[in-house]
Amino acid sequence: MQGSFIDNLPKIYALYTGGFLVFFAAMAILEQMGIGADTIGILFLSFTVVIYALIGWLSRTMQVDAYYVAGRQVPPVFNGMATAADWMSGASFVAMAGGIYLGGHGYLAFVVGWTGGYVLVATLMAPYLRKFGCYTVPDFIGTRYGGKLARFFAVIVLVVASFTYVTAQINATGTIASRALAIPFEVGVWFGLLGILLCSMLGGMRAVTWTQVAQYIVLIIAYLIPVFWMSIKQGFGPLPHLVYGEAVAKIAELEPVLGVGTLKAAEGVAKTFPGLSSLTVLHSNPAEGGIAAWRFVTLVACMMIGTASLPHILMRYFTTPSVRAARSSVAWSLLFIFILYFTAPALATFTKLSLLDPSLSTHIIGRSFDEVLAMTWIQKWSAVGMIALKDANADGIVQINEFFLRGDIVVLATPEMAGLPYVISGLVAAGGMAAAMSTADGLLLAIANALSHDLYYKIIDPKAETRKRLIVARVLLVIIGAAGALVASMKLTGILGAVAWAFCFAMSGLFFPLVLGVWWKRANRPGAIAGMVLGLGSGWWYLYMVKWGGMKPWYGMDDLRFGMVGATVSLIAMVVVSLVTAPPDKETQDMVDEIRIPRGETYLSSTH
């Protein structure tokens, strides 16, 4: 290899991909030689986590520019892969297909919203924030509006949204570790946290970026292989994305026969298994007509606007070499994200069919309880509390209303449900861990960077030397990660629920201060502060009242959609307060004009 590390990136990651595929083949050979499934699972997780930790160690740095923005040297294609890995969280990889599996087309609102959010990022945010040249989102808020108070409230919103999100990722790592290592979920979250910290603590954004590229390669291979395998095995051919409609039609024929859509005894039995779901319960009493469409649209809106407000995603575009590269990077991000999202409905469909279709050897509905309980995968997942069966009808046959599972395990358990070799399960577990770890790395870094750079350095101790600032950032990583693991172990909500809350918190407090900060020169400091405080506060209030306070949701907007209330209040408060107070000074207004030109020299580097 000749030239710099950046010049050799294609060769380096091609070798890495080849090495991973060789390891996968070696695991397959070991399985054929009789090595136990548990051993293979442990080897998969251990190998991948060690590789990520090694990348993190090799990328260690004590340079501020490298720690916060990877030296602004990440090419668009690789930044696109890193962003996709940052984005492919436990929700996308582990929980999304499970939601579609259990809840049907309504859960496609997550897919539409998350993908559409990148259109907002590309058109409203990424190029202009990169042109500004800041390190963090609160850095932009603090400099654009001036004063320490605006920066402080931006830090508060960032911490609330990102911490909620990171608990979901640690939840996902705990789910994976509990199955692969046969340990309780409450212990698994701490194993997941250890791997996360190994990747991000020493090298900051530089380490996270190169680790996330490696993690994207693992997670996309792990997501695609089972889908192609199931499609061929179930007789639909080698193009699952184009033919899974036939599988959907077959499921539609089977569901009425199997009792999906009727309550039977399921509702009462479900109370025995908190956190687990039955197809019967979720398909009963579906929303109809206009309210269903409204709920779909509002969930899409929350996911779109939340995407464009998430600090750890916006941070990724601070690492590109130029403003033009930031825009190109968004396009690459969309492509890499599309590959997985286009696959999720097919995975959910083939997995569901493998359990329902009596012509397949993997089906469980209609079999005797003795046969089903003897299945290894049922025993393993039941042992860690992710699956439960109860003979409510007392006929000895597993009915659709007697099989309960946690939706978060659908993707992880798919290879076993479909009767694939266990090496595929190990691969999927490694992919799920990569997805959750990559997002958790970015989130923890966003929180730690905001607290160390914007709170400690910009507000508390402006004279702090570089070494002290980076030590503070690393200590905060550990503290915040430990707090996230503790909260995740409490199982307050599922992975998708926690992610939806994080998006709603972000959009409630940050979306309009960011967008209007770029596109409305009249937006001022009092308006931004009002938008952040009242937006986040009203969102918090609505979530509490709907979730725990007994209040009936307004127009069908439940706890997953409270961002609609928070963002609306934020917009009104920001516009009204900005108009009734003094406009920003001429220098600030000139700055806004300058950053809206998506080319040329970075603003902060040219003025400071």
pLDDT grade, residue 300 (50/70/90)? very high
**Residue 405 φ then ψ, to 5°:** -150, 160
pLDDT grade, residue 72 (50/70/90)? low
Asked if residue 375 is part of any domain, the answer here is: no
Q: Measured on CA atoms in the order 67, 69, 73, 78, is the torsion positive or negative?
A: positive
The string of pLDDT tens digits covering residues 441-465 is 778 777 877 788 778 778 888 887 7
Asked if residue 381 is part of any domain, the answer here is: no
Q: Give the CATH number of the domain where residue 70 resides.
A: 1.20.1730.10
Contact 424, 39 (CB under 8 A): no
Asked if residue 213 is part of any domain, the answer here is: yes
- Min mean pLDDT across 219-223, 445-449, 524-528 is at 445-449
pLDDT tops 70 at residue 576:
yes
Asked if residue 372 is part of any domain, the answer here is: no
> How far is it, in rounded angstroms, from Cα 304 to Cα 298?
10
Comparing C-alpha atoms, which of 95, 598, 76 is closest to residue 340?
A: 95
> How far is it, in rounded angstroms, from Cα 525 to Cα 541?
24
Asked if residue 284 is part of any domain, the answer here is: yes
Do the bridges between strand 403-405 and strand 387-389 make them parallel or antiparallel, or are there none, so unpaired? Answer: antiparallel
- DSSP character at residue 602: -
Asked if residue 598 is part of any domain, the answer here is: yes
Measured in whole angstroms, how far is the alpha carbon of residue 9 from the centre of its chain? 26
The string of pLDDT tens digits covering residues 546-575 is 988 889 999 888 888 999 999 999 999 999
The string of pLDDT tens digits covering residues 285-294 is 444 557 778 8
Asked if residue 395 is part of any domain, the answer here is: no
pLDDT tops 50 at residue 440:
yes
Asked if residue 51 is part of any domain, the answer here is: yes
Comparing C-alpha atoms, which of 386, 410, 384, 414 is closest to residue 178?
A: 384
- DSSP character at residue 405: E
**Total structural domains within the chain:** 1
> How far is it, in rounded angstroms, from Cα 413 to Cα 420?
10
The string of pLDDT tens digits covering residues 460-501 is 888 877 778 778 877 887 888 888 888 877 766 667 778 889
Model pTM score: 0.80
Comparing C-alpha atoms, which of 223, 216, 221 is closest to residue 442?
A: 216
Domain that holds residue 352: 9-367+412-456+467-607
pLDDT at 285: 41
